[in-house]
């Protein structure tokens, strides 16, 4: 029979229910008119909802149940079971991701810290708008809470409509201004003069020391706050950095273009353990034989690497710079720009012209080839 015929009138008194023949005044325990008129037992289905936290074990159990439901191999007693997302925890997980990481959306980066900047560090008009829309600063932080108010506030139509028209936001990540960490606070990097993004989740930045007139190159994880900051180059004369294919290029007021390997294996082929497919790919790039076992491929690459490195040492070529093997004298550069992973435009300090050249990897260092002057 149709459930719609059941009368769930909460206002019925005990006496009224008793006069109608009901055994209880509680709506969920009353029999329906359909069953009463036919003097039959009224059966009710009880809907049981179990809400569980988004832990890996619970998620795996739900996935297993869902697979069995779809394949029809589940216990018949559980055949009507429905696995639904736990909305509060899904919302918390999404909020945590937006609070902790600089997520990439198309060609832009997003993080809840941008809303904090709009609320606290923008012009007065903007601050007034966002302080009404975001009443508390902790709404944009990652806090483990049962209260859903922060998720509801951040997903409100008024806030999202305002964010659509506010445009780009200038936000400081080094030094960190709100969520301090032991390695990212005010005064720790007083003069960051150049920055590059060599990989999806990391940045590189150059910090200048006015006392020594030298710079230090740092690698950092693009977290919020930026963390895992470590120096990968010290006492550098560089004034600007650029990146391409896992390599940091450094330019100074005059001299060669220096390089530092940012991603393991980007320059030195032996700096990263590789599987057979990777070894074959490297051997093919270096125009070496791709035949043999993994050990034979490793031995072949090792012999190639040792022989070529000996040539570098014999010719007194520095491994930390782009060297032009076909030039009698090495060019001197004062600035540069990476057009892509292979082509570089640079201003020559020695001849006062703009030049272009390509960068080739030989497994040991970087070679500058096809040097052309056009201005």
Helices vs strands, H then E, count in the chain: 10, 14
Share the mean pLDDT of the chain.
Answer: 86
Q: Which residue has the higher pLDDT, 277 or 44?
A: 277
pLDDT at 318: 93
pLDDT at 63: 85
Helix or strand run (H / E) with residue 191: none
Q: What is the pLDDT of residues 130-146, one digit of tens each?
A: 999 998 777 787 776 66
pLDDT band at 314; cut points 50, 70, 90: very high
pLDDT at 4: 36
Q: Stretch 328-333: mean pLDDT, rounded? A: 93
Q: What is the pLDDT of residues 84-121, one digit of tens each?
A: 777 777 777 788 888 889 988 888 889 999 999 999 99
pLDDT band at 2; cut points 50, 70, 90: very low
Q: Stretch 285-304: mean pLDDT, rounded? A: 91
Q: Stretch 296-321: mean pLDDT, rounded? A: 93
Q: What is the pLDDT of residues 46-79, one digit of tens each?
A: 777 766 666 667 778 888 888 988 898 988 878 8
Does the predicted model carry a pTM greater than 0.85? no
- For residue 292, cis peptide bond before it (omega within 30 degrees of 0): no
Helix or strand run (H / E) with residue 371: strand 366-373
Q: Which residue has the higher pLDDT, 199 or 344?
A: 344
Beta-strand relationship, 322-323 and 366-373: parallel
pLDDT at 319: 93
pLDDT band at 226; cut points 50, 70, 90: very high
User: For residue 213, is pLDDT > 90?
Assistant: yes
Q: Which residue has the higher pLDDT, 372 or 63?
A: 372
Q: Stretch 283-290: mean pLDDT, rounded? A: 90
Rounded distance between C-alpha atoms, residue 99 and residue 94, angstroms: 9
CA dihedral (358, 363, 366, 370) in degrees, to 10, reads: -30
Three-state DSSP class for 14? helix
pLDDT band at 258; cut points 50, 70, 90: very high
Contact 348, 332 (CB under 8 A): yes
Lowest-pLDDT range, 97-111, 224-238, 314-328? 97-111
Lowest-pLDDT range, 143-147, 216-220, 266-270, 331-335? 143-147
What CA–CA distances, in Å, run from 240 to 195, 204, 209, 258, 316? 8, 11, 14, 11, 26
Rounded distance between C-alpha atoms, residue 110 and residue 264, angstroms: 27
pLDDT at 7: 45
Q: Stretch 135-159: mean pLDDT, rounded? A: 80
Give whichever of 2-16, 75-89, 263-277, 297-311 has the largest mean pLDDT: 297-311
pLDDT at 149: 81
Spans of all domains in the chain: 2-85, 89-165, 192-261, 276-374
User: For residue 8, is pLDDT > 60?
Assistant: no
Strand residue runs (E) in 119-256: 192-199, 202-209, 214-221, 227-236, 240-244, 247-251
User: For residue 1, is pLDDT > 50?
Assistant: no
- For residue 329, cis peptide bond before it (omega within 30 degrees of 0): no
> How many of the other CB atoms lie within 10 Å of CB of 282?
21
Q: Pull the structure tokens for residue 56.
A: 């890996």
pLDDT at 6: 41
Rounded distance between C-alpha atoms, residue 96 and residue 182, angstroms: 21
pLDDT at 233: 96
Contact 366, 247 (CB under 8 A): yes
- Specify which residues 261 forms β-bridges with: 247
């Amino acid at each position: 029979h149709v459930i719609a015929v059941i009368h769930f009138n909460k206002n019925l008194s005990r006496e009224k229910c008793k006069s109608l023949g009901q055994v209880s005044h509680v709506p969920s325990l009353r029999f329906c008119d359909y069953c009463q008129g036919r003097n039959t037992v009224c059966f009710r289905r009880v809907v049981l909802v179990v809400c569980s936290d988004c832990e890996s074990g619970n998620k795996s159990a739900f996935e297993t149940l869902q697979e069995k439901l779809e394949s029809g191999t589940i216990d018949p007693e559980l055949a009507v079971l429905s696995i639904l997302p736990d909305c509060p925890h899904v919302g918390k997980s999404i909020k945590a991701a937006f609070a902790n990481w600089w997520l990439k959306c198309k060609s832009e980066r997003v993080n809840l810290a941008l809303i904090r900047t709009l609320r606290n560090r923008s012009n007065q008009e903007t601050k007034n708008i966002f302080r009404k829309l975001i009443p508390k600063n902790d709404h944009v932080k990652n806090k483990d809470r049962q209260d859903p108010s922060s998720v509801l506030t951040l997903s409100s139509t008024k806030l999202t409509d305002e964010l659509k028209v506010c445009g780009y936001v200038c936000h400081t990540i080094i030094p960190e201004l709100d969520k301090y960490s032991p390695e990212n606070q005010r005064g720790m990097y007083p003069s960051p003069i150049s920055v590059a993004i060599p990989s999806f989740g990391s940045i590189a930045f150059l910090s200048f020391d006015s006392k020594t007139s030298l710079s230090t190159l740092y690698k950092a994880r693009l977290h919020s706050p930026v963390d895992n900051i470590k120096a990968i180059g010290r006492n550098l004369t560089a004034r600007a950095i650029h990146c391409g294919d896992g390599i940091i290029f450094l330019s100074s007021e005059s001299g060669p273009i220096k390089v530092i390997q940012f991603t393991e294996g980007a320059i030195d082929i032996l700096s990263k353990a590789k599987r057979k497919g990777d070894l074959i790919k490297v051997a093919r790039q270096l125009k070496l034989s791709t035949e043999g076992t993994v050990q034979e491929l490793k031995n072949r690459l090792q012999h190639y690497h040792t022989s070529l490195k000996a040539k570098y040492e014999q010719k007194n070529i520095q491994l930390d710079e782009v060297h032009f093997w076909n030039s009698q004298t090495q060019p001197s550069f004062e600035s540069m720009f990476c057009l892509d992973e292979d082509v570089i435009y640079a201003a020559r300090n020695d001849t006062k012209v703009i030049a272009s050249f390509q960068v080739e990897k030989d497994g040991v260092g970087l070679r500058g080839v096809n040097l052309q002057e056009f201005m």
